[in-house]
Amino acid sequence: MKVLICDGMHEVGLSILRAAEGIDVDVPDQPGAEEIKAMLPDYDAVIVRSRTRITAELIENAPRLKVIGRAGTGVDNIDVKAASARGALVMNTPGANATAAAEHTIAMMLALARHIPQATQSMREGRWDKKRFMGTELFHQTLGIIGLGKIGSIVADRALSMKMDVLGHDPYIIPEAAAILGVEWVPLDELLARSDFLTLHTPSTSETVRILNRETLARTKPGVRILNCARGGLIDEQALYEFLLNGHVGGAALDVFEQEPPVDSPLLKLENVIFTPHLGASSYQAQANVARAIATQIVDYLLYGIIRNAVNFPSIRPQDYEKIKPYLVLAERLGSLQGQVSTPIQRLEITYSGSDLQELPLQPLTHTVIKGLLDPILAEKVNLVNAPLLLKERQIELITTTRSESKGYTGEIAVKAISPREEFSAAGAVLQGHEIRLIRINDYRLEAELEGINLLIQNYDKPGTIGLIGTTLGSHQVNIANMHLSRTPRDKAIAIIRLDNEAPPEAIETLRRHPSIISVQQVKL
């Protein structure tokens, strides 16, 4: 498998990739968009930082692409929707550069408060302007933090150590959780009105784009100083320029911009604004950390199927992987069984039962059931990433439930497919030693291997039926590997017959014509 690294990588990450057996790595020097477009079709994975944009066009022309890695937190330079539609994972490295970004924010706040860049430039020009650069202490100043994720929390911790009063606003954090950090959680309007310094630490989403605009800037405390070391586009830069010009905003420190580099931005002409060229994650330690993290994640996924920090798929922690692995196999085979015997499907119901499954992430299992279901149905490529999207496109309703107990098993997955004409359900379990078993079909209880070529035969419980099945298959040179039988009090029975080779259509048709047989379906698992 081949990995393309577009924006360079710290040697620690390159070493991990190059040491992985079966993986080849290419590191072109700052390739442009057209060069990447020409190269990408030959690669299974691509790793970028913030410079390279992975667009829908690039993804569409990369048939081998399995995973896109972002050596950093933000993925706004990657078309995640297009990647999901094509079945490519998008991974990032949250937290690997959090300390660097938080410390850069603190450094910018101190530089802004004490006019350090302006004073430095003044001295370079031969002046000694002590009175001109009167500063502000941070002691007992109020810092407002919008976004209390990993980076925002570290900023809060550092600010509290300098005896600042810290306010926080984050719709995904409850006040009690903020209080544990030592932060007073307040509504956004209150944070704007009370903050002497205001810093942004949110992702770029439809809700946060230009969260600081003319309306919200007008509600800030007069003289407020604003910092953005998170994402370009969180601030309406034209509005910020106007509020800096009229003095309502006392100063700004910007590491990120709507357009990078910010060519011809009027902000560059203002003396009360300081800048850095997107340096938040640019520490030696952070670059080593993100390179190590993304390289390890890419190797684990390409070679072992372990998924971590995927933004378009639920992650599986390494400590969970060995335990969930047989359930992933079970989930795919149950889905595949349904896909081969139950069409068209209107609703898919998945039930997880037992103590084992209470401890494991269930979303990967759900994705796997869906993949197994759609694989036999669709001609297009189906994988764990695009399976839910394809299910939705086919307007199949999905319902998942969990139960704490399963009779006789520590983990059971039941899958029911509902069509306009009938319902078909199948359940399976993982036994000790990671053996996978089919334990129930509709009302029939049994225990059968869930693999290989199988005939699923429903019949009336009459003497001679089993002999008929054996004779018919034998006459067509089809050998039976094993057979599992079950019956109900309603004089009906079911047989799961494992075959050494596929039964020809004429053998199946002969069985279907017999009056004792209700249905015959051949499935490959």
Task: Kindly report the number of other CB atoms within 10 A of residue 481's CB atom.
Answer: 13
What's the rounded Cα separation, in Å, for the pair 223 and 219?
12
Catalytic residue (one of 104, 231, 333, 498): 231
* Nearest C-alpha neighbor of 413 from the set 428, 400, 401, 403: 428
367-to-240, 312, 343, 499 alpha-carbon distances in Å: 44, 12, 19, 29
What's the rounded Cα separation, in Å, for the pair 373 and 384?
11
- In three-state secondary structure terms, 465 is helix
For residue 333, indicate whether it is catalytic: no
In angstroms, the first-to-last Cα distance of the chain is 27
Where are the extended beta strands (E) located within 397-479?
Answer: 397-403, 412-418, 423-431, 435-441, 444-449, 453-460
Tell the residue number behind the tokens 């081949």, with chain if given.
Answer: 2
Give the chain's count of helices (H) and strands (E). Answer: 18, 22
What's the rounded Cα separation, in Å, for the pair 212 and 377?
48
For residue 367, indicate whether it is catalytic: no
Task: Kindly report the number of other CB atoms within 10 A of residue 284's CB atom.
Answer: 9
Q: What is the CA radius of gyration of the chain?
A: 30
What's the rounded Cα separation, in Å, for the pair 300 and 30?
26
Helix/strand/coil percentages in the chain, nearest 5: 35, 25, 40
Indicate the pairing of strand 67-70 with strand 45-48: parallel
What's the rounded Cα separation, in Å, for the pair 472 and 504?
11
Catalytic residue (one of 11, 215, 260, 451): 260
Q: Taken in order 60, 64, 67, 68, is the CA torsion positive or negative?
A: negative
Cβ distance 464 to 500 under 8 Å? Answer: no
Residue 466 burial by CB count (10 A; 0-12/13-18/19+): exposed, middle or buried? middle
Task: Name 381's Cβ contacts closer than 8 Å, sequence gap at least 6.
Answer: 87
For residue 434, indicate whether it is catalytic: no
Cβ distance 461 to 492 under 8 Å? Answer: yes
Catalytic site positions: 231, 260, 278
